[in-house]
Amino acid sequence: MTCDALFARWCEIHRDFLWSRNSSLEFNLHRSRYIRILMSSDDPSSALSYARRYFPPLFSTHAAQVSQLTSALAFFPSPRLATSPYADLTRENIHSDLESQFSQEYCALLKMSRQLPLRVVADLGANGALAKIERAKKIMQEKKTEWTAADELPVRQMFPTPVVMALTMNQFLPRSRLASPRKHDIIPSSHVLSPRSKRRKLTRQ
């Protein structure tokens, strides 16, 4: 099975999720594959067969675009299409944007950030967080006090919206405690969240 086929299968399996987000990922994928078939084939029937197989489930949400794609068959072969009213279908960004769109939806499904952890940490540090923490640490040392990390940072730091994360205290628990009757939750990051941590988080909210 090719990468395109796996990509299409993933979109089909998660179609309800994509529709709940008003995502056009599945349509954009099939549009890209359809155009590649149309531009590389000597016979328009292969592109028409593809359209008949994959476009019907998408017609309710992309009727105008599907009609445009099928009407482009009237300007076959591909050199005519490039100078037709449907010339915009030959733009390269129709294909190149798919990777970014898939990354966005895949991460949303897993409730993960699209940004690399190292990039997030670097952005937060560059935003002034490290400088403020270091300055507060020096002040506390001069006043003979100690930062115990019992609750939260000793300074307030506003972060950019794209990198705002929930402040959740994740505890690493031994197997003996995991086997206890108390309920422990596994959050999307695969960390274990104990009842005590949940109470502390709710108290902060």
pLDDT tens column, 104-129? 899 889 887 766 666 666 666 666 66
Find the mean pLDDT for residues 49-76. Answer: 93
The pLDDT of residue 198 is 57
Residue 78's pLDDT band, with cuts at 50, 70 and 90, is confident
Residues 152 and 182 in one domain: no
Q: CA-to-CA distance for 176 and 53, rounded, in angstroms? A: 54
Residue range of the domain that includes 99: 3-109
Find the mean pLDDT for residues 80-90. Answer: 88
The pLDDT of residue 54 is 94
Count of structural domains, the chain: 3
Q: Please report which helix (H) or strand (E) contains residue 121, including its range.
A: helix 117-126
Residues 122 and 103 in one domain: no
Residue 20 lies in a domain: yes
Q: What is the pLDDT of residues 142-185, one digit of tens each?
A: 666 555 543 444 555 565 555 554 333 334 444 454 445 455 55
Find all residues with CB under 8 Å of 18, minimum gap 6, and list them.
Answer: 11, 25, 26, 105
pTM, two decimal places: 0.58
Sign of CA dihedral 16, 10, 109, 175: positive
Find the mean pLDDT for residues 46-56. Answer: 94
Residue 17 lies in a domain: yes
